[in-house]
Amino acid sequence: MPTTPTTSAADGIEIAYECHGDGQPLICLHGGMAPRQYWQPVLPLLDDFAAVVPQRPGFGTCLDDPDETGPDEVLEREVTYVRALVDELDGTPVLLGHSFGALTAIETARTLTADGESDVIEAVVAYEPAILPEAFAEHADLADRMQDRLDNGDREGALKLYVEQVVLGGGVDDLDAWLTEWPVWPDCVDLVEEVIRMNHAVERYELPETLDVAVPVLVLTGTEGPEFLRESARDVDEALSDSRLVDFDGVSHAGPSEAPDQTVKELRSFLRGV
């Protein structure tokens, strides 16, 4: 059975997380979806790890002033939260992130490197970090279009737009049928405000030419995901000095939950070489 401890970050953010199993800590950072449901297909395959599934601020935990959390603060808040969680755990964890969680994992590793604390984590595994190529970012307006639907009272429609454009890359014939099989739907509809804030942050993020990260990074991507995220995965790999890029054939942006066996297989192979 998972345990649900609670700790606090330096700035007072309350952190709640489940811990499944025993072994080296593996912090599972979800993207714009419900954390417990998202990692359900992966957790049974991680029985020799202590798989830590946190509740990110705004995704099931309270924010002091959620409406005042601007796009420029979202990623900084996430990094602060992950660093506090790393400090709380016994052992040297691996960060496993999907989408915005992957971006958070990389930025956490970069911040730790800049502060001379990179030895507190062992490695990063990042499935399609939520980063927009420069040419794409110039015209990105997904957050605004989602907000328009939300303002018109269509919460479900706002999140469907995100799923269609990001998770599936616009390539699905029957979205409603696909959603009935997706583990996180419809629980994630309650999180739409935070997903919009997150997308604003993504649209403003600029990938530096060099990512100064002192730990190894495994970058994963799928051939059926949005092309702009596949391009960004390649850009992230090129910006890192110690990384490996793996392409999953026939897998979408929902990679870890869609292809858990492949994800865990590559994770294990990567960590054996670290």
Kindly state whether residue 81 falls inside one of the protein's structural domains.
Answer: yes
pLDDT given for residue 231 in this prediction = 94
- SS3 (DSSP) at 88: helix
- Taking alpha carbons only, the member of 53, 51, 62 closest to residue 25 is 51
Question: How far apart are the C-alpha atoms of 72 and 92, rounded to whole Å?
Answer: 29
Instruction: Give the number of domains in the chain.
Output: 1
Buried b (16+ CB within 10 A) or exposed e, 144-161: eebbebbeeeebeebbbb
Q: Omega before 93 cis (within 30°)?
A: no
pLDDT given for residue 157 in this prediction = 95
Residue ranges making up the domain that contains 101: 6-132+207-272
Kindly state whether residue 188 falls inside one of the protein's structural domains.
Answer: no
Nearest 10 degrees: CA dihedral of 17, 49, 103, 250?
Answer: -120
Question: How far apart are the C-alpha atoms of 185 and 114, rounded to whole Å?
Answer: 38
Kindly state whether residue 257 falls inside one of the protein's structural domains.
Answer: yes
Kindly state whether residue 82 falls inside one of the protein's structural domains.
Answer: yes
Question: How far apart are the C-alpha atoms of 200 and 32, rounded to whole Å?
Answer: 12
Helix or strand (DSSP H, E) at 214: none
Whole-prediction pTM:
0.88
Kindly state whether residue 149 falls inside one of the protein's structural domains.
Answer: no
Kindly state whether residue 170 falls inside one of the protein's structural domains.
Answer: no
Kindly state whether residue 23 falls inside one of the protein's structural domains.
Answer: yes
For each of the chain's 274 residues, which pLDDT tens digit applies?
577 777 766 666 677 889 999 999 999 998 877 677 789 999 999 999 999 998 776 664 444 444 444 556 788 888 988 998 999 899 999 999 999 999 999 999 999 999 999 999 999 999 999 999 887 877 789 899 999 999 999 999 999 998 888 877 766 789 999 899 887 888 889 888 888 888 888 998 999 999 999 999 999 999 988 888 999 999 999 999 999 999 999 998 889 999 999 999 999 999 998 8
Could you give phi then psi for residue 157, rounded to 5 degrees? -65, -35
Kindly state whether residue 164 falls inside one of the protein's structural domains.
Answer: no
CATH of the domain at 35: 3.40.50.1820
